[in-house]
């Protein structure tokens, strides 16, 4: 049986300290539910002693009925020269009713003197008293030894005294924190080994990523004997972020044969990473290992030719193990094998001598000459292939659209889009306002389509990019628009090219909606529903 490593997720606490990240209580509830389904063992919900939002979360999270994860509240050791029963932060942890408390204390003598300005002896008493108080009140206690690696390198005897005090008071875990993120993997390995010899309770690791070593340091700690890893989804966190659980979990489980979560839960890792990214309104890097859209993407023709024979030639794991998928990018650098692979992926027999195949190749080359780029627009490419071989049902077509931009003196600009669609043989008009022409067009299209395709409620645009293709033409230059869309489970990209930015945006937008509906059936619309949403039929 593989050794078990407990996963401690601090996305909802440490992750929210990352620049640009702010989660509402409702956001935290949604993420907590996802983390529980992923199978993490601990979810750190926040610091109840610091704000009312976290207190509300701890009250409401009990409604979720989590089946796997324990919810833990964060806090510090008691204040200096204060009894633990009189300490507000410790009592807030007890008041919110969590089964687990995670408290941090000082391990570095420099911090004891400079940060909390007390004696080394009082700091030891603060650690002991706080852990004991929480244990006496029936909580599981995880003691986070803040700045432990820096403290150990500066004064190993005192650093070890601090964690022994937590152990004496009854702590269930000692977690060693690389708070500044400046420790190297070989140092982590040596220090964790020394700690394992010095104490008799389980050890964990809490690494930061300031030297791009958060994952490496976490793995080094586990190989040296740590059995708990703290981190965040997508590496969210202060400064350069925390150790990324989306890399740690598969590395531990698939490379080092540790057991963290079930195989089925591991297969949801990519969707969880994308979901959390969307809720946090943070773009998920395409090249993020394991879960990024480009993690298993192949562009070079030689590479694609090889993976057609055996995917292991250029893939270190099977993408589906982490819920991701293999992608082949088609561009001017790619060989014919890329197109063959893409067709086969769709179940289409691609014969280079087939006139339809030659026509498709010529069409793609001509579109690329015009400025299209399909390596970043896999959904548009798939639609091209499906259309070429008659494999895509035309569920709707855009017959016309009109954009009206108006401004009165002293008033903000108002943008309205009017669209006319043919949906399943029926002509549908609608209009909508938006924050700019593309947003208005998106709203108007959705007002037409949602009664027929309710599933589009789950799909939204997650990124929008415009690239000027020939700067010398100045304002008349042709532009390429790339739109990224998501439905929380999948992410896809579409492209449009035109000298008119609205037309290019519309083409990419239409493709994104068409792709979202692949394999979906038209939902009949009752007359009262049409009247409710304001559809006009002609």
DSSP letter (8 states) at residue 69? P
| CA distances in angstroms from 217 to 97, 135, 240, 273, 464, listed in the order given | 33, 30, 15, 21, 36
HSE-up of 297 (CA within 13 Å, CB side)?
19
> Which range scores top for mean pLDDT: 40-44, 380-384, 485-489?
40-44
Which residues in 391-490 belong to E strands, given as ranges? 396-406, 414-423, 426-434, 460-468, 479-486
* Averaged pLDDT, 134-139: 98
Q: What is the per-residue pLDDT for 410?
A: 78
Reported as a pLDDT band with limits 50, 70 and 90, residue 337 is low
**Is the pLDDT higher at 368 or at 455?**
455
* pLDDT digit string, tens, across residues 174-201: 999 999 999 999 999 999 999 999 999 9
Measured between alpha carbons, how far is 175 from 231 in angstroms, rounded to an integer?
Answer: 12
* Averaged pLDDT, 447-457: 91
Least reliable range by pLDDT among 71-75, 118-122, 460-464, 511-515: 460-464
| CA distances in angstroms from 478 to 361, 469, 471, 504, 505, listed in the order given | 23, 6, 9, 9, 12
Share of the chain above pLDDT 90, in %: 64
Residues 10, 230: contact at Cβ < 8 Å?
Answer: yes
Determine the length of the chain: 538
Measured between alpha carbons, how far is 40 from 276 in angstroms, rounded to an integer?
Answer: 14
Residue 16: partners with Cβ closer than 8 Å, 6 or more residues away: 22, 23, 46, 236
Q: What is the per-residue pLDDT for 333?
A: 45
Ordered alpha helix ranges (H), 6-119: 25-38, 52-60, 88-95, 109-114
* Averaged pLDDT, 17-25: 93
* Averaged pLDDT, 234-260: 97
Q: What is the per-residue pLDDT for 146?
A: 97
Share of the chain above pLDDT 70, in %: 89
* Averaged pLDDT, 321-345: 69
* pLDDT digit string, tens, across residues 400-444: 999 999 887 778 888 999 999 999 888 999 999 998 899 999 999
Reported as a pLDDT band with limits 50, 70 and 90, residue 370 is confident
- In the predicted model, is pLDDT for residue 494 greater than 50? yes
Which residues in 192-264 belong to E strands, given as ranges? 203-207, 228-231
Q: What is the per-residue pLDDT for 152?
A: 98
Q: What is the per-residue pLDDT for 527?
A: 43
Query: In 3D, which of 285, 483, 458 has the Cα closest to residue 380?
Result: 483
Tokens for 174?
């000692």
* Averaged pLDDT, 231-239: 97
* pLDDT digit string, tens, across residues 251-302: 999 999 999 999 999 999 999 998 898 888 888 888 999 999 889 877 665 6
Q: What is the per-residue pLDDT for 311?
A: 76
**Is the pLDDT higher at 381 or at 78?**
78
Q: What is the per-residue pLDDT for 366?
A: 83
Q: What is the per-residue pLDDT for 373?
A: 75
pTM summary value: 0.73
| CA distances in angstroms from 234 to 58, 287, 414, 460, 501, listed in the order given | 23, 12, 38, 21, 33
Domains of the chain: 6-279 (3.20.20.70), 297-388 (no CATH), 396-537 (3.30.160.270)
Q: What is the per-residue pLDDT for 381?
A: 85
- In the predicted model, is pLDDT for residue 467 greater than 50? yes
Distance from the Cα of residue 41 to its chain's centroid: 19
Q: What is the per-residue pLDDT for 75?
A: 96
- In the predicted model, is pLDDT for residue 344 greater than 80? no
| Mean per-residue pLDDT over the chain, rounded | 88
Reported as a pLDDT band with limits 50, 70 and 90, residue 520 is low
């Amino acid at each position: 049986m593989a050794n078990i490593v407990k996963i401690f997720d601090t996305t909802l606490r440490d992750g929210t300290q990352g620049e640009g990240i702010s989660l509402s209580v409702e956001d935290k509830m949604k993420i907590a539910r996802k983390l529980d389904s992923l199978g993490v063992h601990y979810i750190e919900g926040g610091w109840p002693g610091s704000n009312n939002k976290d207190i509300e979360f701890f009250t409401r999270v009990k409604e979720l009925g989590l089946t796997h994860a324990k919810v833990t509240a964060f806090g510090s050791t008691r204040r200096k020269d204060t009894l633990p029963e009189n300490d507000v932060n410790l009592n807030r942890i007890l008041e919110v009713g969590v089964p687990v408390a995670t408290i941090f204390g000082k391990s570095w003598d420099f911090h004891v003197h400079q940060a909390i300005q007390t004696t080394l002896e009082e700091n030891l008493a603060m650690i002991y008293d706080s852990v004991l108080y929480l244990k006496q009140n029936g909580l599981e206690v995880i003691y986070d030894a803040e700045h432990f690696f820096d403290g150990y390198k500066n004064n190993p005897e005192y650093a070890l005294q601090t964690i022994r005090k937590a152990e004496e008071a009854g702590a269930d875990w000692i977690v060693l924190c690389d708070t500044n993120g400046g420790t190297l993997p070989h140092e982590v390995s040596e220090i964790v080994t020394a700690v394992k010899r010095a104490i008799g309770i389980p050890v964990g690791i809490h690494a930061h990523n300031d030297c791009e070593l958060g994952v490496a340091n976490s793995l080094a700690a586990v190989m040296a004997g740590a059995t708990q890893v703290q981190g965040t989804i997508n590496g969210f966190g202060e400064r350069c972020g925390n150790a990324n659980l989306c890399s740690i979990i598969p590395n531990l489980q698939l490379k080092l044969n540790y057991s963290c979560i079930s195989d089925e839960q591991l297969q949801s890792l990519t969707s969880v990473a994308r979901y959390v990214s969307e809720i946090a309104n943070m773009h998920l890097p395409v090249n993020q290992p394991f879960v990024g859209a480009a993690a298993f993407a192949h562009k070079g023709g030689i590479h694609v030719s090889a993976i057609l024979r055996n995917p292991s030639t250029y893939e270190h794991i099977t993408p589906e193990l982490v819920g991701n998928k293999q992608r082949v990018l088609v561009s001017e650098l790619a060989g014919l094998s890329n197109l063959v692979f893409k067709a086969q992926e769709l179940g289409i027999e691609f014969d280079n001598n087939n006139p339809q195949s030659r026509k498709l190749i010529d069409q793609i080359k001509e579109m690329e000459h015009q400025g299209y780029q399909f390596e970043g627009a896999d959904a548009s490419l798939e639609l091209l292939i499906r259309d070429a071989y008659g494999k895509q049902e035309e569920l709707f077509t855009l017959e016309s659209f009109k954009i009206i931009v108006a401004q009165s003196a002293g008033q903000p600009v108002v943008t309205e889009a009017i669209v006319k669609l043919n949906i399943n043989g029926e002509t549908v008009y609608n209009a909508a306002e938006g924050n700019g022409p593309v947003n208005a067009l998106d709203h108007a299209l959705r007002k037409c389509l949602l009664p027929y395709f309710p599933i589009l409620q789950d799909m939204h645009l997650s990124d929008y990019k415009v690239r000027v293709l020939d700067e010398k033409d100045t304002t008349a230059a042709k532009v390429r628009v790339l739109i990224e869309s998501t439905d929380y489970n999948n992410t896809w990209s579409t492209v449009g090219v035109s000298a008119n930015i609205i037309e290019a945006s519309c083409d990419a937008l239409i493709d994104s909606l068409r792709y979202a509906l692949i394999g979906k059936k038209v939902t009949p619309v009752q007359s009262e529903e049409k009247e409710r949403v304001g559809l006009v039929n002609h």
